[in-house]
Amino acid sequence: MDKEYRDLWQIIGNRYKSHPWHGVPIGENVPEKVTSFIEVVPSDTVKYEVDKQTGYLQIDRPQKFSNIMPALYGFVPQTYCKEQVADYCMAQSGRTDIVGDGDPLDICVLTEKEVTHGNILVQAIPIGGFRMIDRGEADDKIVAVLEGDGVFGELRDINRVPKSVITRLHHYFLTYKALPTDASDVVSIDKIYGREEALEVIRRSQQDYDKHYGSIEQEMAREAFRTISKIDPTRKRKFAKEQ
């Protein structure tokens, strides 16, 4: 049955655009390499994000001040930050009041190349991340390198990245939501972690996604089972055996 569903989704994908969160595969070599959907590039003067209902990019907000995203920025498809991600954040930070932010897992992808627009898919190799907490919500930012990149592509741990690059990312995430006159701590970064912790966060975000959204194939199988059982009881028994 798995092959039949894969064939069906390939046919559907040839005709209709896949939702970038739910319809794009995360990749066969996850978590060591992940497909990433890029929403924002360094030249953008507004912050774009995917509308969860339609899958289209929408303007989240204009960049009101001079801070710009210093890397490609987006999310990892078929991930979700909820209980497992929050539990890991609490275990690592020592806090007990953290919840998941209810979004797909964010990712920053380093590359030497100037990418002129978002709404694209890239293959990224995670090398670390920021344990960011935004108003009591786990909001990890995975740091990755673009596969095959001439400058960053061979790096496999965040400690190998030039300090100035990480400092820019760190500063951006600490300030991008704050007004210049606002002295309150809107977000905090508990730690800059390495590759192994990044891979664990990705695994846990997959677990959260599976729990809350399951797989489309399983939903289709259940719906097909209900439909077949109404139409033909004899085929119902055959279908049940195939599952």
CATH 2.60.110.10 for the 24-213 domain, yes or no: no
The reported pLDDT for the residue numbered 175 is 85
State the pTM of this model: 0.86
The reported pLDDT for the residue numbered 209 is 96
The candidate with the shortest Cα–Cα distance to 239, out of 228, 6, 230, is: 228
If 0-12 CB within 10 Å is exposed, 13-18 middle and 19+ buried, where does residue 89 land? buried
Residues in the chain: 243
If 0-12 CB within 10 Å is exposed, 13-18 middle and 19+ buried, where does residue 14 land? exposed
For residue 30, CA distances in Å to 23, 77, 84 come to 16, 11, 17
Dihedral over alpha carbons 196, 200, 201, 205 (to 10 degrees): 150
Phi-psi region of 213 (alpha: psi -120 to 50; beta: other; left: phi over 0): alpha
- ∠ at Cα 61 (60, 64), nearest 5°? 160
| Domains of the chain, residue spans | 24-213
The reported pLDDT for the residue numbered 19 is 92
The candidate with the shortest Cα–Cα distance to 55, out of 121, 124, 141, is: 121
Write down the residue that tokens 């001079």 correspond to. Answer: 66
10-residue mean pLDDT profile of the chain (243 residues): values are: 63 80 94 98 91 93 77 98 98 96 98 96 98 96 98 97 96 79 74 98 97 74 61 56 55
